[in-house]
Amino acid sequence: MTDNDPMVAEALPINGIEICADTFGEPSDPALLLIAGGASSMDWWEDEFCRRLAGAGRYVIRYDHRDTGRSTSFPPGAPPYSGADLANDALGVLDALNVHRAHLVGLSMGGALAQKIAVERPHRVLSLTLMSTAAGPSESTEATPQEPDPSWADRRTAVHRLVAAVRETGGPFTADEPQLRRLMERVFDRTVDMTASQTNHWCCASGPPFRHRLGSITAPTLIMHGTLDPLFPAAEARALQAEIPGSRLVWLDGVGHEFPPAAVWSLVIDEIIAQAAPNPAAGAAR
């Protein structure tokens, strides 16, 4: 795994499956783990975004969730795992890379996974940055098997649907259609089973609830939220801030429910770097 060819990623044996991960920067720098949203491979954390984080002196780690990218894929429609397993995969990536403590950056579903880790494994978390997300579940949900949509296996159809979905939940800063199409083609080409990828995260069980424990989070927490987010309105961000003691809320004007568009990278990266400040204890804890 190298900065010059960031997609020379490594398949790591984790929790009985393989998780594909990629790094930028020096392992001796403070570790920063990027946790993507549901049905999202690590491609959504764009290469240049990761390089800029690493250029500020952070060891940046991104990975494919199970059922995304090059990680292990399961038959679509009835995944044999829960949200708890997805959170354990994130910790497994850190273990495989010999990182004991990390700054966590989670977006959407990834933000919920980061909250869960901070609640249940606080000794692993140096700080939290929660983006385009809401407070974790207050009750468990059961698995809800779904009938897979085989049209996801068609490259042209899948790329068109992914581009349309991003534009529907984005804002005025969302990338233009040609740029989005290039990204979605890359996502499709790296994904083991696109039908499973676009189905299984949405029908797996949530795992044990943890919202009632958010008040126990002690890691410094930053919340960044788009003012135009149609999935999680502003009230959700304020509720999350109220749940986590001492958390700080930064609004991203003109941003929808999306990975940070390039127009706001400078603000987002500056905020993440400030949040993921070097910690003298981090190196000793590796």
pLDDT per residue as tens digits for the range 51-64: 999 999 999 999 99
Tens-digit pLDDT profile for residues 33-54 = 999 999 999 999 999 999 999 9
In a domain, 2, yes or no: no
CA distance 37 to 201: 10
CA-to-CA distance for 141 and 219, rounded, in angstroms?
27
Residue 5 lies inside a defined structural domain of this protein? no
| pLDDT confidence bin for 142, thresholds 50/70/90 | confident
Q: Would you say residue 120 has pLDDT above 70? A: yes
| Selection from 64, 84, 81 nearest residue 137 by Cα | 84
**For the domain that residue 33 is a member of, what is the CATH number?**
3.40.50.1820
Predicted local confidence at residue 140, as pLDDT? 83
- Tally Cβ neighbours within 10 Å of residue 255: 27
Q: Is the pLDDT of residue 282 over 70?
A: no
Average pLDDT, the chain: 94
Residue range 193-218, pLDDT digits in tens: 999 999 999 999 999 999 999 999 99
Let me know if residue 108 belongs to a domain.
yes
Residue 286 located in a structural domain: no
Domain, as residue range, for 31: 10-281
Task: Determine the pLDDT at residue 269.
Answer: 98
Any domain includes 1: no
Which residue numbers are catalytic?
108, 229, 257
- Is this prediction's pTM over 0.85? yes
How much is the pLDDT for 278? Answer: 74
For the segment 220-237, what is each residue's pLDDT rounded down to a tens digit? 999 999 999 999 999 999
Residue 128 falls within a domain, yes or no?
yes
* Whole-angstrom distance, CA of residue 148 vs CA of residue 177: 27
Task: Note whether residue 125 is domain-resident.
Answer: yes
pLDDT at res. 2: 36
- Tell me, yes or no, whether 196 lies in a domain: yes
- Position 9 scores a pLDDT of 87
Number of structural domains (the chain) is 1
